[in-house]
């Protein structure tokens, strides 16, 4: 009987959190997710050799991990000094930020950490933590330093490491040396991220792919007016942004980094936010990529069909969705696969509410139903499940371990299901159908409106376009310095990242302010690199508090803010 092939494609990404002028990281999420997720998501496969998977390691994430290993620090590390030497400001910072992890599913599992949260007052308001300063002793602050970093390590790794397991069992009263050793252990995990992925890749259990270096929305970088295809009438910025050469350059940088770290070139490319347009295809083609990926909604609109599901979410026309396509557009062509949106979202947002064993059983059941429903077809099919590989797990019971272990055990024993890398499948079953009219859209509502079309987002694009034009004007000068141009372009590429417009006008003001401020800092660095005065408007925020929200009273780049909300949202960017 035929086999149903399953491709898990995990997107491992962090925005570029560095204030390039100060050479400081304002947020710690690349470091903390590396310790909790990026190493262990790959390492867990050592126990399940039959499970083959694909990982997108974004260049901006890999660059930050390398920076940490070379001595860079983020603001959260600045308060990891001896507790006796903490200043009042540093104590406030600890009380404000060192509970930035899921309270009910993580902190509540550890009695001492939970006790410290209650002692703090269970508040996220910066001013409210003042009251806790007098309640916390030196011992409390040191235990808080330890528990925050310990909780941001993978539970499986904590159990297997005698020192980390010992700290968890001890629970409180940590020493200065124990906290120091804990941070050294964290760096050890970061050092293992790239080697572990490379080892699994070389034994052909995983495939590693890449993405444009600083994670831009490629269709908008190529031509901002492409947003109108999915959203006719969408208000657009006054300055049209149209720099396909930037998309090309960012992918060339990605290939260079990939070759340096993994000794070969990637076959697959992940378009940031799975956003694609016909104009992307020749760029992928020219740079030698064999395949790319997007969402089922993009496929449906490219073929002008509906992906039909029954009341349980099972696809009734799976022969359309569960196969690769050869996409031809703008003189280029590439193989594309399309993810099952429903199954991917069940992992991302629904299974956190299930006991882990039941969640794993449900997913395997759904895959078997797909296999049953496709028995009529003589062809082999590929189910693609793709999502962010880190954001969901702290909402799960016991983090990702119980769910993934149960899932991989079940899949390893299934006769009719086989987990493969994407290239492994395509080598055996190349596409037999074509798409000649690729729809322009992303995995968010099959449009690009999440990143353009509101007042704040459009103002961001106008500022980006003016800075980009300043580079072109400088390039035409007879005394143009290639080194200055290179530095200015790097800051433009960073500012083109998708995370900056994602936050503006879409997320709460107090969360979006640091991203917006960092965006303006990158643009100011463009002008600084060229020896020009930055426009005065770059000193003014693009976002303002909504009714009932307090305005930021300090420079948002003087320190980070809590990034973990009180409730599980359905729209969390990578962090």
Domain end residue (candidates: 130, 153, 187): 187
The tokens for 334 are 């590439």
Residue 562 has pLDDT above 50, yes or no: no
Residue 571's pLDDT is what? 37
pLDDT score of 305: 98
Residue 311 lies in a domain: yes
Which one has a higher pLDDT value, 374 or 559? 374
Q: Are residues 383 and 480 in the same domain?
A: no
Give a yes or no: residue 24 inside a domain: yes
Mean pLDDT (whole number) for 324-331: 98
Establish if 572 belongs to a structural domain: no
Please tell me whether residues 421 and 462 are part of one structural domain. Answer: no
Q: Residue 127 above 80 pLDDT?
A: no
Residue 350 has pLDDT above 60, yes or no: yes
Task: Specify the CATH number for the domain of residue 237.
Answer: 3.20.110.20
Read off the pTM.
0.95
Choose the weakest-confidence range: 88-92, 235-239, 395-399, 550-554. 550-554
Domain assignment present for 78: yes
The model's pLDDT over 438-480, given as tens digits with 9 standing for 90+, comes to 999 999 999 999 999 999 999 999 999 999 999 999 999 999 9
Q: Considering 187, 219, 238, which residue would you say is the last residue of a domain?
A: 187
Q: Which residues contact 496 (CB under 8 A, 6 or more apart)?
A: 214, 216, 221, 246, 250, 464
- pLDDT tens-digit map of 374-426: 999 999 999 999 999 999 999 999 999 999 999 999 999 999 999 999 999 99
> 153-208 pLDDT, tens per residue?
999 999 999 999 999 999 999 999 999 999 999 999 999 999 999 999 999 999 99
Strand ranges, E, within 318-416: 325-329, 332-339, 381-388
Instruction: Tell whether 135 is covered by a domain.
Output: yes
Q: Which pLDDT score is estimated for 24?
A: 85
Half-sphere exposure at residue 81, Cβ-oriented, CA atoms within 13 angstroms: 10
Domain for residue 550, yes or no? yes
Q: Are residue 470 and residue 517 in the same domain, yes or no?
A: yes
Residue 270 and residue 405 in one domain: yes
Query: What residues make up the domain containing 541?
Result: 455-558
Summary mean pLDDT of the chain? 94
Contact 411, 354 (CB under 8 A): no
Q: Which candidate, 398, 399, 394, places its Cα nearest to that of 565?
A: 394
Report how far residue 410's alpha carbon sits from residue 417's, in angstroms, rounded to the nearest whole number. Answer: 10
Split into its structural domains, the chain has a count of 3
Can you tell me whether residue 136 is helix, strand or coil?
A: coil
Burial of 356 (0-12, 13-18, 19+ CB in 10 A): buried
Give the confidence band of 125 by pLDDT, cuts at 50, 70, 90. Answer: confident
Angle at 511 between CA 506 and CA 512, to 5 degrees: 55
pLDDT score of 553 more than 90: no
Q: What is the mean pLDDT of residues 219-242?
A: 98
Three-state DSSP class for 437?
A: coil
Give me the pLDDT at residue 128, please: 82
For residues 94-118, give the mean pLDDT.
Answer: 96
Whether residues 400 and 462 share a domain: the answer is no
Instruction: Decide: helix, strand or coil at residue 189.
Output: helix
Task: Report how far residue 228's alpha carbon sits from residue 232's, in angstroms, rounded to the nearest whole number.
Answer: 5
Residue 286 lies in a domain: yes
Please report the DSSP string for 262-310 in residue order: HSS--SEE--GGG-B-TTHHHHHHHTT--EEEEEHHHHHHHHT----B-
Whether residue 200 sits in one domain with residue 183: no
Residue 563 lies in a domain: no
**pLDDT at residue number 559:** 54
pLDDT value for 574: 40
What is the arithmetic mean of pLDDT over 77-99? 93
Per-residue pLDDT for 314 more than 80? yes
Residue 229 pLDDT > 90: yes
471 and 425 co-located in one domain: no
* Pair (275, 368) in one structural domain: yes
Round to whole Å and give the CA distance between 463 and 335. Answer: 35
- pLDDT on residue 560: 40
Q: Are residues 199 and 261 in the same domain?
A: yes
62 and 113, same domain (yes or no): no
**pLDDT above 70 (res 575):** no
Beta bridge partners of 387: 10
User: How many Å apart are CA 459 and CA 53, to the nearest integer?
Assistant: 40
Question: Is residue 33 pLDDT above 60, yes or no?
Answer: yes
User: Do residues 467 and 459 touch, judged by C-beta distance below 8 A?
Assistant: no
Exposure string of 44-63, with b = 16+ CB inside 10 Å and e = fewer, is bbeebeebbbbbbbbbbbbb
Give residue 558's pLDDT band: very low, low, confident or very high (50, 70, 90).
Answer: low
Tell me the backbone φ, ψ of residue 260, rounded to 5 degrees: -65, -40
Which domain-ending residue is among 403, 435, 467? Answer: 435
Do residues 57 and 125 share a domain?
no
Per-residue pLDDT tens digits for 235-276: 999 999 999 999 999 999 999 999 999 999 999 999 999 999
Looking at the fold, whether 198 and 229 belong to one and the same domain comes out as yes
CA 45 from chain center: how many Å?
A: 21
Mean pLDDT of 221-228: 98
Both tokens assigned to 21: 């002028």
């Amino acid at each position: 009987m035929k086999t149903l092939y399953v491709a898990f494609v995990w997107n491992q990404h962090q925005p570029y959190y560095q204030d390039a002028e100060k050479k400081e990281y304002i947020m710690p999420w690349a470091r903390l997710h590396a310790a909790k997720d990026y190493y262990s998501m790959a390492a867990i496969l050592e126990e399940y050799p039959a499970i083959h998977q694909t990982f997108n390691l974004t260049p901006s994430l890999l660059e930050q991990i390398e920076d940490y290993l070379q001595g860079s620090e983020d603001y959260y590390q600045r308060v990891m000094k001896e507790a006796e030497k903490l200043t009042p400001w540093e104590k406030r910072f600890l009380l404000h930020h060192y509970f930035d992890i899921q309270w009910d599913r993580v902190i509540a599992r550890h009695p001492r950490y939970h006790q410290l949260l209650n002692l703090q007052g269970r508040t996220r308001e910066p001013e409210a933590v003042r009251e806790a300063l007098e309640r916390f002793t030196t011992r409390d602050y040191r235990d808080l330093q330890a528990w925050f970093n310990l909780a941001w390590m993978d539970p499986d790794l904590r159990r297997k490491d005698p020192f980390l397991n010992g700290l968890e069992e001890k629970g409180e009263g940590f020493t200065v040396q124990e906290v120091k050793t804990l941070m050294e252990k964290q760096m050890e995990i970061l050092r293992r991220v790239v080697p572990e992925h490379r080892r699994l890749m070389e034994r052909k259990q995983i495939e590693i792919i890449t993405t444009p270096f600083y994670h831009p929305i490629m269709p908008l970088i190529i031509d901002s007016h492409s947003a109108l295809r999915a959203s006719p009438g969408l208000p657009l910025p006054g300055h049209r942004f149209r720099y396909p050469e930037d998309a090309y350059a960012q992918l060339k940088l990605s290939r260079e980094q990939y070759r340096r770290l993994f000794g070969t070139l990637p076959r697959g490319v992940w378009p940031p936010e799975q956003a694609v347009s016909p104009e992307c295809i020749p760029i992928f083609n020219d740079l030698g990529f064999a395949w790319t990926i997007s969402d089922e909604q993009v496929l449906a609109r490219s073929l002008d069909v509906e992906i039909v599901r029954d009341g349980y979410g099972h696809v009734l026309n799976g022969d359309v969705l569960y196969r690769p396509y050869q996409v031809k557009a703008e003189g280029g062509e590439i193989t594309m696969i399309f993810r099952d949106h429903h199954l991917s979202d069940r992992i991302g947002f629904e299974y956190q509410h299930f006991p882990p064993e039941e969640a794993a059983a449900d997913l395997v059941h759904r895959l078997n139903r797909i296999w049953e429903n496709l028995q009529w077809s003589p062809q082999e099919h590929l189910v693609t499940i793709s999502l962010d590989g880190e954001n969901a797990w702290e909402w799960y019971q016991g983090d990702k371990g119980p769910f993934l272990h149960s899932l991989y055990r079940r899949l390893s024993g299934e006769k009719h299901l086989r987990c493969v890398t994407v290239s492994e499948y395509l080598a055996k079953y190349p596409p037999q159908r074509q798409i000649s009219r690729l729809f322009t859209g992303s995995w968010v509502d099959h449009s690009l409106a999440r990143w353009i079309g509101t007042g704040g987002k459009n103002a961001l694009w106008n500022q980006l376009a003016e800075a980009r034009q300043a580079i072109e004007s400088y390039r035409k000068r007879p005394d143009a310095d290639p080194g200055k141009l290179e530095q200015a372009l790097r800051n433009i590429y960073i500012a083109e990242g998708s995370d900056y417009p994602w936050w503006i006008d879409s997320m709460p003001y107090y969360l979006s302010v640091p991203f917006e401020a960092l965006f303006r800092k990158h643009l100011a660095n463009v002008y600084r690199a060229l020896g020009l005065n930055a426009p005065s408007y770059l000193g003014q925020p693009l976002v303002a508090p909504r009714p009932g929200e307090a305005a930021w009273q300090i420079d948002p780049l003087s320190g980070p803010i809590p990034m973990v909300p009180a409730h599980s949202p359905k729209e969390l960017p990578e962090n």
